[in-house]
Amino acid sequence: AQSVTQLGSHVSVSEGALVLLRCNYSSSVPPYLFWYVQYPNQGLQLLLKYTSAATLVKGINGFEAEFKKSETSFHLTKPSAHMSDAAEYFCAVSGGGADGLTFGKGTHLIIQP
Amino acid sequence: DTAVSQTPKYLVTQMGNDKSIKCEQNLGHDTMYWYKQDSKKFLKIMFSYNNKELIINETVPNRFSPKSPDKAHLNLHINSLELGDSAVYFCASSLSSTPGELFFGEGSRLTVL
């Protein structure tokens, strides 16, 4: 069975500082990995995805993530945080086809002015 | 035009009642899902339909019954509501050819009193 683990239920950074949200995966086959963002009272929106092409994946809003097989990790980063980045972030894994997504427990990102 | 729309957005009801949530997507996707998000923001897949056929039916009480009249619609009917059913229910859709790239509705917040 595939799963993802997000380290840290809450992460707080200052505006302009580096954002690092951690995700480790468990999968017996090469996984499809994703990061989604959820703003308050909204549905989830795809930030970026890894599907075994490039290991460094660029997404929307300046976010990127690096797939590291040796560390079974897919951490999300952004060089400089904006106040508008405050949201819940979910790492997720898919088995393909109509399998849908298995989500991590989420990380709440807080941006300090 | 909203890509994935759910109605109603809010539902407040008494224990024991029956309620339905409707979902429609205008993206031409062939797969639709229901997810449940609890008060701790944890997201769990409930059902997935591909071309109107049930693909995933997670361990969900049989009080929950999905129905897909066509590829663009997936409704969720809940019988004999319980306090523990209080949650936000998200509908989502995707193409089976691009696994994991889900488009979510804005959610339906169900409160059972």
What was the pLDDT predicted at B98? 85
pLDDT digits (tens, 9 = 90+) for B27-52: 999 999 999 999 999 999 999 998 88
Mean pLDDT along residues A58-79: 95
What was the pLDDT predicted at A52? 77
Distance from CA of A10 to the nearest CA of B (A): 12
Task: Name the least confident of A33-37, A87-91, A97-101, B51-55.
Answer: A97-101
Using 50, 70 and 90 to split pLDDT, how confident is the model at B12? very high
The whole-chain average pLDDT of chain B stands at 93
Token pair, residue A66, equals: 């690096």
What was the pLDDT predicted at A95? 77
In B, what residues contact A, Cβ < 8 A? 4, 31, 33, 35, 40-45, 48-50, 55-56, 90, 92, 94, 96, 99-107
Using 50, 70 and 90 to split pLDDT, how confident is the model at B1? low
Is the separation of the CB atoms in A88 and A107 below 8 Å?
A: yes
Higher-pLDDT residue of B53, B112: B112
What was the pLDDT predicted at B94? 93
Q: Which of A41, A94, A105 sits opposite B100 (nearest CB)?
A: A94
Is the separation of the CB atoms in B96 and A98 below 8 Å?
A: yes
Interchain pair A34, B100: CB under 8 A: yes
pLDDT digits (tens, 9 = 90+) for A27-68: 777 789 999 999 998 999 999 999 877 889 999 999 999 999
CB neighbour list of residue A33: distance below 8 Å, 6 or more residues apart? A4, A23, A25, A49, A50, A65, A67, A74, A91, A92, A93
